[in-house]
Structure 1
Amino acid sequence: MAVVASAPGKVLMTGGYLVLERKNAGIVLSTNARFYAIVKPLHEEIIPESWAWGWADVKLISPQMDRETMYKLSLKNLKLQSVSSRQVVESRNPFVEYAVEYAIAAAHATFDKDKKDMLQKLLLKGLDITILGCNEFYSYRNQIEARGLPLTPESLASLPPFTSITFNAEDSIGENQKPEVAKTGLGSSAAMTTAVVAALLHYLGVVSLSSFSEDQSHGRKDDSDLDIVHVIAQTAHCIAQGKVGSGFDVSSAVFGSQRYVRFSPEVLSSAQVFLVFPICLINSEEKILQSAKVFSLEVLKEMLLLLVVYLNSPRLKLRNDGMTSFPCHAKPIGNNAGMATPLTEVIYDVLKAKWDHERTKFSLPPLMTLILGEPGSGGSSTPSMVGAVKKWQKSDPQNSLETWRKLSEGNSALEMHLNTLCKLAERNCNVYECLINACSLLPAEKWLERANEPSQADIVKELLGARDAMLGIRYYMRKMGEAAGIPIEPESQTHLLDTTMSMEGVLLAGVPGAGGFDAVFAVTLGPSSKNVTKTWSSLNVLAMLVTEDPRGVSLEDHDPRAKEITAAVSSIQLQ
């Protein structure tokens, strides 16, 4: 029986860069663009002699990238080894690989003996994993332009669901090197990792997830299963990208739209040491070299500092031969307590660690629409931009602290105004609806003219307060970019955003997340978004078929290709 799980992409509306540090919050909106993972047995039956094998077969298929990779999964140490051609191995997907290894390790870490026997049978049938991302995660400007179609949402809607992915040109070099795939900045790796982890954990029986329709009918009892998905997905995603990021993208992929404060990076120190320094665990020069290729020099320096801290902790013990070993922290499970693998122990520790992130449900106020536009530059390198900001912070601590303080104040103000608008809408729905629809036809400077009574004036006050907060955020983001020497809000984007915010019915406009050339976003009132998409098209900006969808990870009833689930996305009428 196949298990299909999906997880959403994200838009970080506020908190760019600041969310990397504890105590700073970010507002992240989940979207209707979703990544799907389909997990099913690779073999119909268990081959009799397979019980003596120490390996299980794993097949990973990515139809949009025309890639199929075969692996052998060691049932002893739970590590994947590719058995495909060298060319396929070099284009491997570390996010999915770690997701598979960690999900299986989580099963071993939490199951008793009877469940481990069932797990063994499941694994001996092999794993057939297919990953699919909605078109909205990727740039299709080149294909649209090659067809001679206009840069409109309707042109995007004409593409088949799960269209083959566009690759960036190979002539970009140095710090300006573009990623292999032309993306739109919706957090495809986090959504993909989360979907794979969720599908596998459900397939293996570690968690019992529900579909969106089931949640609506019966309500979700608690988030304990989602917490497990979150921990494993965060761990896999951080290790795959070679650093412990803020985690907002994975958190929104699991839980949906939210106000987010990051977890302490130390919660993953044992997992980092285990994977970056496998010499402590695996006597294999080849493995060491493979690990060294994954991480940059800067990241390795950070990892070395973590290793020094970790080696001085009482958690480690010295073996008779002078080598440092990792003690088993796992509680005895069934009769196989002595058979735990180092990876299982690490994942057990991670599951039991104190995850101190904070999340609060958040969504846009009623009658407001999130829209995204793709300027068409092929994407920016977020890691290099983050590195530039960190370098600036170290070189100019006084000014950087002041800039961050102003940004934090602006982020908090915007959050407050949007939350107040939600309360005003709930308190007086009819007044709110009439005023929002009226303001959707007017530029912001004329909104106050439509407030004929105190309750309407209160709403307009919050609308204008939200606009002012966003303008302040944009100002200090530009200031930070100029000081750090990076295009957080490039001049071309500034012109586009100013034009957008001057239009009728536009509340906000900005660059999401770390900024750069990936995308722009706007929040519009009532039915005004259609006019924005037309203006964007005239400015050579492609409005994407993306809007806010507050739900997080979910089970799906069918393979999305069978029922063309993205047809619903493609038919969205942006009004």
Structure 2
Amino acid sequence: MAMTMAAAVAVLSLVPISLFLPPTILRFSGIASAPGKVLMTGGYLVLERPNAGIVLSTNARFYAILKPLYDQLESDTEWMDLKVNSPQMSRETTYKMSLKDFRLDESRNPFVEYAVQYSIAAAYATLDKNKKNELHKVLLRGMEITILGCNDFYSYRNQIEGRGLPLTPESLASLPPFTSITFNAEESNVKSCKPEVAKTGLGSSAAMTTAVVAALLNYLGVVDLSHGSLNQKSEHLDFVHMIAQTAHCIAQGKVGSGFDVSSAVYGSHRYVRFSPNVISSAQETVSTTPLEEVIGEVLRGKWDHERTKFSLPPLMNLILGEPGSGGSSTPSMVGAVKKWQKSDPQKSQETWNKLSEANSALEAQLNLLSKLAADQWDSYKAVIDSCSRFKSEKWIEKFCEASHLEIVKALLGARDVMLSIRCHMRQMGEAAGIPIEPESQTQLLDVTMNTEGVLLAGVPGAGGFDAVFAVTLSDSSTNLTKVWNLHNVLALLVREDPSGVSLETDDPRAK
């Protein structure tokens, strides 16, 4: 079912924002988590409306654990003590935050800092005077936020090899949850240096920002993510989305497409971006305007992004392989593509149109397969189970019944479209002078798609040297894991999980 934010926000803008609030505000502590993402289609195109992208959320999640610093208020002041812990990076940062203008005394991690500032400003923007006084007292107790990311967000090849273990999912699973992160060594050549932390491309900053915003807004009573009807919960998720999206854009210094934050909030779906001007008030200098007024304007803005329900067809599995290249810089690659668009508008538009058509065709093939599964389950299951044991060139010869052939043709159609998408993405990269699908990734993806039971494979999102993705049939993922191991590629533990942001009842470290 398609859902546009325009209609929902149009209604919400007519209602006082305070009606979002549950009866009681302020909880003693809270834990929220948000998933990582894989953008299957829509890389680069999703930056421009009305192009769509298919984004899958994953079982790899970021957690924000929030609690007050002090048991009780000891003195009345206009400054709040804030402590942010990142155990995986062995970092602990302390701040002083002004409760007059929400200014921090220093800046270390803009994603966390804007998430905190904007969430608290949103609380002040939505509460009446009495509740603001109560909020103020609670904030004076200080706040401690602990941030944890599942191991799949980062590369642990060095740790696995250092233990003398093979590059297998079993070795990865043997590492303790939330293992300490290895930092890349600094290099003298700034242009070629790798990111500070080797990541796998699952959208750690978006998941972290969303988790922090959700935990804070729920803690402060601005939203209630614990219960309620589907419509009520949707309104609260919309609130989390608006604040997380704004905080993430401002923290990264630009207005991106927002698909990563959207999937962190809502889970897997088909996404069309919001109009950038919806957060223009937050981009402008706010020194003359109180932050709570700025955030109030953002909340009343016309959020017009679209999301349509989508997930992989039944008996299909998302699997990611980390080639050990240390990740890529998405902003610089996006900048190169935009520069190419300006320098060669005709050629770039042709490539853009072909990619858009291919992306839509893949979406249509996958939706068709989901429909065939619903209408002809026995035939569908028989075809998927059989194809999982063979390479794709053998699939068509295994069947003669019309119902089976229809399903096989849809599978082969999806493969052909994915090959077309990869071709156009390579052409874009060559024209823009960036490695969207580098030669090493091309070779790996060709081997991957030639493995028994593999439906399709590609470089997610902006491409580069992040983890590649594949979609396998039935229980054939072990075939691919073995093939990847022969090519020094570590199969990650990530799988699709279509759920978005959620509250957690327990500290994830206790599991």
TM score, norm. by length of structure 1: 0.83
Q: Deviations over 1:10-62 (max 9, x none)?
A: 00000000001110100000000000001111100111xx22x1111111111
Contact 2:83 2:92 in 1 (8 A): yes
Within a 5 Å distance, the mapping from 1:558-569 to structure 2 comes to: 558-563=506-511
Corresponding position: 1:237 with 2:248: yes
Q: 1:503 to 1:556 in 2, by over 3 A?
A: same
Separation in structure 2 between the aligned mates of residue 222 and residue 3 of structure 1, nearest angstrom: 17
Instruction: Name the residue aligned to 1:308.
Output: none
CA apart distance, 1:220: 6.5
Corresponding position: 1:359 with 2:307: yes
Corresponding position: 1:64 with 2:106: no
User: AA paired with 2:198?
Assistant: A
Contact 1:176 1:381 in 2 (8 A): no
Instruction: Name the residue aligned to 1:333.
Output: none
Corresponding position: 1:547 with 2:507: no
Gap regions ≥5 residues in structure 1: 83-88, 282-324, 327-341, 564-575
Query: Which of 122, 125, 138 is the aligned partner of 1:122?
Result: 138
Within a 5 Å distance, the mapping from 1:471-482 to structure 2 comes to: 471-482=419-430
Contact 2:385 2:474 in 1 (8 A): yes
User: AA paired with 1:57?
Assistant: D
User: AA paired with 2:42?
Assistant: G
Separation in structure 2 between the aligned mates of residue 188 and residue 241 of structure 1, nearest angstrom: 13
CA apart distance, 1:221: 4.4
Within a 5 Å distance, the mapping from 1:449-468 to structure 2 comes to: 449-468=397-416
Instruction: Name the residue aligned to 1:93.
Output: 109
CA apart distance, 1:270: 1.1
Within a 5 Å distance, the mapping from 1:183-332 to structure 2 comes to: 183-210=199-226, 221-274=232-285, 281=287, 326=289
Separation in structure 1 between the aligned mates of residue 134 and residue 339 of structure 2, nearest angstrom: 51
User: AA paired with 1:12?
Assistant: L
Query: Which of 44, 67, 70 is the aligned partner of 1:17?
Result: 44
Within a 5 Å distance, the mapping from 1:117-196 to structure 2 comes to: 117-171=133-187, 173-196=189-212
Query: Which of 379, 390, 407 is the aligned partner of 1:442?
Result: 390
Cα RMSD (Å): 1.2
Instruction: Name the residue aligned to 2:361.
Output: 413
Separation in structure 2 between the aligned mates of residue 24 and residue 251 of structure 1, nearest angstrom: 15
CA apart distance, 1:219: 5.7
Separation in structure 2 between the aligned mates of residue 173 and residue 369 of structure 1, nearest angstrom: 40
Separation in structure 2 between the aligned mates of residue 188 and residue 387 of structure 1, nearest angstrom: 21
Separation in structure 1 between the aligned mates of residue 44 and residue 230 of structure 2, nearest angstrom: 35
CA apart distance, 1:2: 2.0
Instruction: Name the residue aligned to 1:286.
Output: none
Separation in structure 1 between the aligned mates of residue 393 and residue 131 of structure 2, nearest angstrom: 64
Instruction: Name the residue aligned to 1:515.
Output: 463
| Secondary structure in structure 2 of the residue aligned to 1:487 | coil
Q: Deviations over 1:71-111 (max 9, x none)?
A: 111011012224xxxxxx6xx11100000000000000000
Instruction: Name the residue aligned to 1:390.
Output: 338
Contact 1:172 1:178 in 2 (8 A): no
Contact 2:201 2:467 in 1 (8 A): yes
Contact 1:372 1:546 in 2 (8 A): yes
Contact 1:175 1:384 in 2 (8 A): no
User: AA paired with 2:242?
Assistant: V
| Secondary structure in structure 2 of the residue aligned to 1:228 | helix
Separation in structure 2 between the aligned mates of residue 420 and residue 172 of structure 1, nearest angstrom: 51
CA apart distance, 1:455: 1.4
Which structure has the larger Rg over C-alpha atoms? 1
Q: 1:491 to 1:503 in 2, by over 3 A?
A: same
| Secondary structure in structure 1 of the residue aligned to 2:105 | strand
Gap regions ≥5 residues in structure 2: 1-27
Instruction: Name the residue aligned to 1:429.
Output: 377
CA apart distance, 1:176: 2.2
Question: Which shifted more, 194-203 or 173-182?
Answer: 173-182
Instruction: Name the residue aligned to 1:498.
Output: 446
Instruction: Name the residue aligned to 2:104.
Output: 80
Separation in structure 2 between the aligned mates of residue 27 and residue 76 of structure 1, nearest angstrom: 41
Contact 2:225 2:233 in 1 (8 A): no
Separation in structure 1 between the aligned mates of residue 189 and residue 232 of structure 2, nearest angstrom: 50
Q: 1:172 to 1:255 in 2, by over 3 A?
A: farther
Instruction: Name the residue aligned to 1:29.
Output: 56
Instruction: Name the residue aligned to 1:533.
Output: 481
| Secondary structure in structure 1 of the residue aligned to 2:277 | helix
User: AA paired with 1:111?
Assistant: L
Separation in structure 1 between the aligned mates of residue 94 and residue 432 of structure 2, nearest angstrom: 43
| Secondary structure in structure 2 of the residue aligned to 1:57 | strand
Separation in structure 1 between the aligned mates of residue 190 and residue 432 of structure 2, nearest angstrom: 18
Separation in structure 2 between the aligned mates of residue 80 and residue 258 of structure 1, nearest angstrom: 36
Q: In the comparison of the two structures, how many residue pairs are matched?
A: 484
| Secondary structure in structure 2 of the residue aligned to 1:167 | coil
